[in-house]
Amino acid sequence: MRLILLGPPGAGKGTQCKRIIDKYALTHLSSGDILRAQRAGGTALGKKAQAYMDSGALVPDDLIIEMMIGAIKKAGGNFVLDGFPRTVAQADGLTKALKKAGEKIDAIVNLVVADEVISARLTGRRSCPKCGAVYHIVNVPAKVAGKCDKGCGPLVQRDDDKPQVVENRLRTYHQQTEAVVGYYEGKDSPVLNIEADRSAEAVTADIIAQLQRLAG
């Protein structure tokens, strides 16, 4: 199965991907995580991406399309895309690359959350730099405050989760990414709109129910 998870920053794309990958045997391909790994490794791509990410802007399309198409090829046939595509140009690049390989996306899961909910989610997010687990200081607290439940060590706050940058990320989403939903509507791959201002468990149950309905 080939899925895309769309939605604003903090909608819960990463959280939901982690909750469904085992059930459907999918590789989780997060453009944000791949970029952060490139930055941590000090690669040329990581250095180019840094200033864009720190300000809440998008990294240029050509760099992202090349990076994600490469990741998709390595993943084989079953994957869920998280954070990509984020512009109509990226969606078009993806469609063309999949068509060339005789493939298509099976469904687009669009997480719908109001802006007001987003800032509280992002400013309270904490992640484990070692295993990638994601927590929230109120909604999904670690068993011991500030420490990963898996024993990896201290949790960190992402630099781009500071209030000023969150505001820019939301603006960028409305200006450049929202249109991606419209790009997919009425095409081959169905768009499943999911109300995501509910518990993570309720959102997962809805995603699975809608995917099962699609499979008939």
Task: By CB under 6 A, tell whether 207 contacts ligand AP5.
Answer: no
Note the helical H segments in 135-195: 163-172, 179-184
Q: How many CB atoms lie within 10 A of CB 57?
A: 15
Which residues ranging from 60 to 89 are in contact with ligand AP5 (CB under 6 A)? 64, 83-84, 86
Among 88, 134, 152, 181, binds ligand AP5 (CB under 6 A): 134
Q: Does 12 bind ligand AP5 (CB under 6 A)?
A: yes
Q: Which amino acid is at 178?
A: E
Binds ligand AP5 by CB under 6 A, chosen from 58, 128, 155, 194:
58
Residue 85 amino acid letter: P
Q: Which listed range, 21-29, 58-66, 92-100, 205-213, lies at the site for ligand AP5 (CB under 6 A)?
A: 58-66
Do 27 and 139 contact (CB within 8 A), yes or no?
no
Q: Which residue intervals of the chain are DSSP H helices?
A: 13-24, 31-40, 44-55, 61-75, 88-100, 115-123, 163-172, 179-184, 200-215
CA angle 203, 98, 186 (to 5 degrees): 55
Q: From residue 16 to residue 55, what is the string marking binding to ligand AP5 with x (rule CB under 6 A)?
A: ---------------xx--x----------------xx--
As given in the structure block, the two tokens for residue 155 are 């949790």
Give catalytic residues, as residue numbers: 13, 86, 125, 158, 169
Which residues contact ligand AP5 by CB under 6 A? 7, 9-15, 31-32, 35, 52-53, 56-59, 64, 83-84, 86, 90, 121-122, 124-125, 134-136, 139-140, 160, 169, 196, 199-200, 203
